[in-house]
Amino acid sequence: MASAQITIAGTSAERVYDDLRAAIIGGEYAPGERLRAEALAARFGTSRTPVREALMLLEGDGLVEIEPRRGAVVRSFDPADLVDLYEVRALLEARAAGLAAARIAPADLALLEATCERVEGLTGNGARTIDTLIATNEDFHRILIEAAGSPRLSAALRTVAGIPRPFKTVFWNDASARARSLAAHREIIAGLRAGSSDRAESAMRLHVLNARDFLTEVMRERD
C-alpha cells in the first residue's frame, strides 16, 4: 500500500521546500515574480541558507528558475512548455498506470475509488469546492504513482509534477472537463481492477493528453 508521505520534514530546508512549493503551485507567487531570499526567510521564520537550498530543489522541479547572481524567479509556463510538460507526464503516468495494474493492492484500489466518490459528491463551483477537487485529483494521481512501485519513475515525475493553480482552476471550473476527468479516473480504475496494463495505460495516456488539449484550447482562446 502506498504511504501517505515520504518526508517527515526533518530539516528546515525541507519544510521551506514543501511550503514554498505549495505557495507557488497555489498561485501565491505569480509566474515571473522574483523570489528574494531575505523576504522568504522572514516569511518562513528561518535564515537565507535553508531558503537557498529549497530554491535549488524547486529549480529541479521546474517550478523556479535561478540565474547566477540574479536570483530566483517563479517559472513562467508558456503554451509550448505546458504541452511539453503534459506530454512527458502522459508518457510517465501512463507507464505508472500500466505498472500499477499488475501489482496494486486492494487497499490502494479502494483509496482510488474513494477519490472518485468524493469528487462525485462535489457539485458546487465555489472556491472551497475547487480546492477540494484539485486536492482530490492530486491524491488520485499520487496514490497511483506510488502504487506503480517504481522509485525512479516517481523521481522522474517530480520534474513535471507542478503547474500553477490558475491553470488548474480553469480546468476544474469547467463542468464538462470535470465530468470527463471523473469518467477517465473510473476507466483507469476499471483497468487496474481487471489487472489490464494496456487498458490502464491507455486510459491514463488519454486522460493526461485530454488535459493537455484542454489547456491548449484555453490558452488559444485567451490570445
162 with 63: CB under 8 angstroms?
yes
Considering Cα of 49, then 52, then 54, then 60, what sign does the dihedral take? negative
Exactly one of 84, 131, 139, 187 binds a second copy (CB under 8 A); which one?
Answer: 84
Q: What residue 109 binds from a second copy, DNA, none (CB within 5 to 8 A, per partner kind)?
A: none
Taking CB under 8 A as the criterion, the residue among 150, 202, 210, 216 binding a second copy is 150
The DSSP letter of residue 194 is T
Verify binding: residue 58, a second copy, rule CB under 8 A. Answer: no
Hunting for cell 517530480 — which residue is that? 158
Q: Show contacts with a second copy in window 175-214 (CB under 8 A).
A: none
For a second copy, which residue of 127, 151, 221, 223 counts as binding (CB under 8 A)?
151
List of residues 6+ apart from 111 with CB closer than 8 A: 2, 139, 143
Site string for DNA, 36-55 (x = CB under 7 A): xxx--x---xxxxxx-xx--
Q: Is 53 in the site for a second copy (CB under 8 A)?
A: yes
Q: The cell 537550498 sits on which residue?
A: 53
Comparing CA positions, the residue from 133, 132, 142 lying closest to residue 112 is: 142
Q: Which stretch binds a second copy (CB under 8 A): 26-34, 135-143, 157-165, 167-175?
A: 157-165
* 70-78, 79-87, 112-120, 146-154 -> range binding DNA (CB under 7 A): 70-78
N residues, the chain: 223
List the beta bridge partners of residue 31. none
Name residues contacting a second copy, limited to 107-126 (CB under 8 A).
none
Q: Which of 26, 60, 71, 195 touches a second copy (CB under 8 A)?
A: 60
Which of the ranges 7-15, 117-125, 173-181, 212-220 carries the binding residues for a second copy, by CB under 8 A?
Answer: 7-15
Helix 175-193 to helix 79-101 angle, to the nearest 10 degrees?
30
* Sheet containing strand 71-74, strands side by side: 34-35, 71-74, 64-67
Q: 10 Å Cβ neighbour count for 137?
A: 20
Backbone angles phi, psi at 71, to 5 degrees: 95, -175
Chain positions contacting a second copy, by CB under 8 A: 10-11, 13-14, 49, 52-53, 56-57, 60, 62, 68-69, 81, 84-85, 87-88, 91-92, 95, 150-153, 155-160
Question: Which residues contact DNA by CB under 7 A?
Answer: 11-13, 34-38, 41, 45-50, 52-53, 66, 68-72
